[in-house]
């Protein structure tokens, strides 16, 4: 008899209502039209000046990331000519040695300063000096190219050496060490294995 009493039926109704409130969202399901309207936003913002500033800031951050990545030798940020294990080996080999060509630019500045002296003999001597230095740098680049090609054959195989490795090594050797990109990853004298 206690089951049919009004007090027990009201207790059952309260528990049913409580579970419905907990289980429900408390709001109606949005229609497709409402959902599509909420998703829509303009391709170009209404404030074009602000959008331009945001785009420039984002591009500046990306360029800085690329510059730092290139300087640190991250393959993803390098141009195609610098990518790959052979090019990395060449860079490390060239950076480990002291090349004559890397002193060519500072010597040229010295010759320009010397050429300002009025004595013809001093100017002639500086011109002859730069000529011999330039010939020595070219010979050093040629020898470096043959050495690098030989090392690449030993390391990667006779038929797997890429084209243009001698030129790549010589051009890196002619650059001033502090200005090379990607920056040298090895110290002088620490040749790659």
CB 183 within 8 A of CB 110: no
- pLDDT one digit per residue (tens) for the chain, 193 residues: 445 555 555 545 555 555 555 566 888 999 999 888 888 876 666 777 888 888 899 999 988 988 888 888 788 888 778 788 888 888 888 888 888 888 888 888 888 888 888 888 888 888 888 899 999 999 999 999 999 989 888 888 888 878 888 898 988 898 888 888 888 888 888 777 7
The per-residue pLDDT for 46 is: 72
CB 93 within 8 A of CB 163: no
Domain ranges of the chain: 15-77, 81-179
pTM: 0.62
The per-residue pLDDT for 156 is: 83
Three-state secondary structure readout of 55-88: HHHHHHHHHHHHHHHHHCCCHHHCCHHHCCHHHH
> Which residue has tokens 């599509």?
36
Show the beta-strand stretches assigned E in the chain: none
CA distance 59 to 133: 44
Residues in contact with 123: Cβ distance below 8 Å, sequence separation at least 6, in sequence order = 114, 115, 117
| Cβ atoms < 10 Å from Cβ of 169 | 26
């Amino acid at each position: 008899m206690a089951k049919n009493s009004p007090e027990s039926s009201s207790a059952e109704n309260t528990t049913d209502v409580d579970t419905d409130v907990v289980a429900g969202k408390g709001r109606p399901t949005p229609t497709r039209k409402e959902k599509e309207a909420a998703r829509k936003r303009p391709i170009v913002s209404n404030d074009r000046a602000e959008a331009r500033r945001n785009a420039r800031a984002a591009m500046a951050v990306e360029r800085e990331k690329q510059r730092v990545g290139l300087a640190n030798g991250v393959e993803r940020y390098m141009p195609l000519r610098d990518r790959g294990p052979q090019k990395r080996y060449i860079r490390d080999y060239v950076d480990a040695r002291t090349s004559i060509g890397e002193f060519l630019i500072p010597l040229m500045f010295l010759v320009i300063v010397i050429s300002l002296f009025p004595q013809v003999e001093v100017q002639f001597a500086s011109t002859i000096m730069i000529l011999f230095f330039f010939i020595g740098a070219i010979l050093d680049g040629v020898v470096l190219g043959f050495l690098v090609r030989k090392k690449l054959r030993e390391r990667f195989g006779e038929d797997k050496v890429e084209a243009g490795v001698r030129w790549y090594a010589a051009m890196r050797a002619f650059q001033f060490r502090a200005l090379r990109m990607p920056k040298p990853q090895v110290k002088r004298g620490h040749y790659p294995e």
